[in-house]
Amino acid sequence: MTASGYPRIVKLWKRGEPLSAARVIYEGQNTRTSACRAWCSTIPPPPSSWVQRDVSFLYRRISRHRGPDGTTWQLPLPLGADLKGGTGP
């Protein structure tokens, strides 16, 4: 948890495994305004994984994409951008 009690570590847990087997895939900073979250999207295929880390309480966040090899990279988005899901046109 962060200094403010928000989630700081994102782990990958697979159904059927004990929670203790979950692997850390991203670790945020331990600051008052930081919080981390992750989600997966299956539409459109192939599945994609995303991680976000808040950098302030003013809806400013860094968004990262997680590749099939497990590496993450920061998306070139403004800090105020908010990713949303959808089903396409």
- In this structure, are residues 60 and 79 in contact, taking their beta carbons and an 8 Å threshold? yes
For residues 28-53, give the mean pLDDT. 80
Q: Say whether pLDDT at 87 is over 60.
A: no
Structure tokens at 22: 């979950």
Secondary structure of residue 49 in the 3-state scheme: strand
Q: What is the reported pLDDT for 22? A: 94
Query: In percent, how much of the chain has pLDDT > 70?
Result: 91
**Cα–Cα distance, 6 to 28 (Å, whole number):** 10
Q: What is the reported pLDDT for 86? A: 56
pLDDT in tens, 8-37: 899 988 899 999 999 998 888 787 777 888
